[in-house]
Structure 1
């Protein structure tokens, strides 16, 4: 489920098994994503949060079972560190190119805050019946950022750790450049990946981008670039900003 009429071009992913489903992130919250998931499935759903940024938790309040990594739990409950409501509202109204629902008012927009149903940890398994998902803790963009590997289909959902077109952000005080590089190396080693799905821009990337991530990791380490202030580093298919 893609929100292309907004500058974020953010994606959420509904993964269905024969017993239950998982929704990876819930989008911006400009419109109600549950209206769509209700049309697509009647299976019980769990929401897996790749990380706690506004564009990924916008509709969390519509769902009963929400999971987040411990590293981002406090942000989910109390709000995102270092991000004011004024900045959030400025970002949510920016560069909208499609009509918004009458219920959307950027001046009163409130990001979700609430306690999760449970906490994710590295190596957790979600068994959907005929589909198995594995959680990888991949910090850097946020402390509790996770990636999800659909082992059954070979789909790797990388959240804001890896996508194309616009830079991967690791320049905020709440980010960690070294952790992000380590996380890129880790996902690049996952075997049998058939497709990579980042949370922004192009929907579905050839897994060759993981080979490019290995090259990027080596370059960034050898040149001591994984630290704040070194700028934007461009590689074949993606870029990173520290």
Structure 2
């Protein structure tokens, strides 16, 4: 599986194009906006876009979901149903933060902890990691040792917990009890900023470091 990180929106949110190299089937994870930019990359790589995967319901991660799904008749997969209230309030989010109007949506499939999602022949494990939002999920490829963590964890930082239904202690538990056990060698794509590894964050992240 290969991946391409495509920053979108004024928030430079990391949308990720995941491609199964055996089948050429692809998925977009968190298409928050700039649909033309995303579709240009899909066309450039010559892949078959099959689905949209969503980590959580904040507008910079889901602002382009409804438009993209309608334009290409794509199924929307994720997040956990606990983020339904965020998606239902998407228009309000857009007005509050000065984003272009985006329609809400209902995923074809809500996700739960322990589910799996396929991208071609690649299998992603679903890990429910609340704290930043109550319905936040992480997608993990065991074979690639790659996690797409949305806004749970960043290089040198963690997600905010001051939004409605956010919780700091829950977020720390999600990271230390659900992500760290996946292995120190796991590299991760955060919702914003550069990639890192769990090992690097265990050692130096001031919020969740000094774990070992």
Could you state the TM-score of these two structures normalised by the residue count of structure 1?
0.70
Q: Give the Cα separation in 1 of the matches to 2:28 and 2:126.
A: 14
Q: Secondary structure of 2:127's match? A: strand
Q: Per residue, is there more helix in 1 or in 2?
A: 2
Q: Give the Cα separation in 2 of the matches to 1:130 and 1:15.
A: 12
Matched, 1:15 2:23: no
Give the superposition deviation at 1:147. 0.8
Counterpart for residue 62 of structure 1: 68
Q: Secondary structure of 2:95's match? A: helix
Matched, 1:176 2:181: no
1:146-169 Cα offsets, whole Å, 9 max, x none, are 111111111111110001366621
1:177–1:84: structure 2 CA closer, same or farther, 3 Å change rule?
same
Q: Give the Cα separation in 2 of the matches to 1:11 and 1:2.
A: 6
Give the superposition deviation at 1:214. 8.9
Select which of 70, 86, 89 maps to 2:95. Answer: 86
Q: Number of residue pairs matched?
A: 197
Q: Note the aligned Cα RMSD (angstroms).
A: 2.8
Matched, 1:111 2:102: yes
Q: Secondary structure of 1:172's match? A: coil
Q: Secondary structure of 2:42's match? A: helix
Could you state the TM-score of these two structures normalised by the residue count of structure 2?
0.79
Counterpart for residue 2 of structure 1: 6
5+ residue gaps, structure 2: none
5+ residue gaps, structure 1: 93-108, 218-234, 237-242
Task: Name the stretch that deviates more: 114-123 or 164-173.
Answer: 164-173
Select which of 36, 40, 57 maps to 2:41. Answer: 36
